């Protein structure tokens, strides 16, 4: 078993997992640019699972509006819950992406 640690956060798509190199210091500083090319999948993701760290924090409204303008929903939850939801939803073959801030 491999136990990789991503101290700055993690970006997930159906085809890759990447250390979140330019993760914001907190959810309140989140921008669309911070996600890089996370949404560049085919098919386009249904929604973004946003792990907000150790506790649930609401992302900034401008960020949510920018993601929704791309036709992608945003589901915010603490990062542990987002990681669990990722496993369940991908087992159902849902087309989703995730951005998990560190605990």
In a domain, 1, yes or no: no
In a domain, 85, yes or no: yes
In a domain, 52, yes or no: yes
For the chain, the domain total comes to 1
In a domain, 4, yes or no: no
pTM of the model: 0.94
pLDDT at residue 1 is higher than 60: no
In a domain, 5, yes or no: no
pLDDT at residue 87 is higher than 90: yes
Q: What is the CATH number of the domain that holds 76?
A: 3.40.1230.10
In a domain, 2, yes or no: no
Give the model confidence (pLDDT) of 14-24 as tens digits: 999 999 998 99
Q: Containing domain of residue 56, as a range? A: 10-19+26-100
Give the model confidence (pLDDT) of 22-76 as tens digits: 899 999 999 999 999 999 999 999 999 999 999 999 999 999 999 999 999 999 9
pLDDT at residue 97 is higher than 60: yes
Q: How many CB atoms lie within 10 A of CB 33?
A: 8
Strand partners, 76: 50
In a domain, 69, yes or no: yes
Give per-residue burial for 57-88: e unless 16+ CB within 10 Å, then b: bebeeebbebbeeeebebbbbbbeebbebbee
């Amino acid at each position: 078993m491999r136990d990789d640690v991503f101290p700055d956060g993690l970006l997930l798509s159906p085809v890759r997992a990447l250390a979140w190199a330019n993760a914001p210091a907190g959810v309140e500083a989140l921008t669309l640019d911070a996600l890089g090319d996370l949404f560049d999948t085919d098919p386009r993701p249904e929604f973004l699972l946003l792990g907000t760290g150790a506790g649930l924090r609401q992302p900034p409204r401008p960020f949510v509006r920018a993601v929704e303008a791309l036709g992608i929903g945003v589901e915010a939850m603490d990062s542990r819950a987002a990681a669990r939801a990722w496993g369940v939803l991908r087992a159902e073959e849902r087309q989703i992406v995730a951005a998990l801030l560190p605990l």
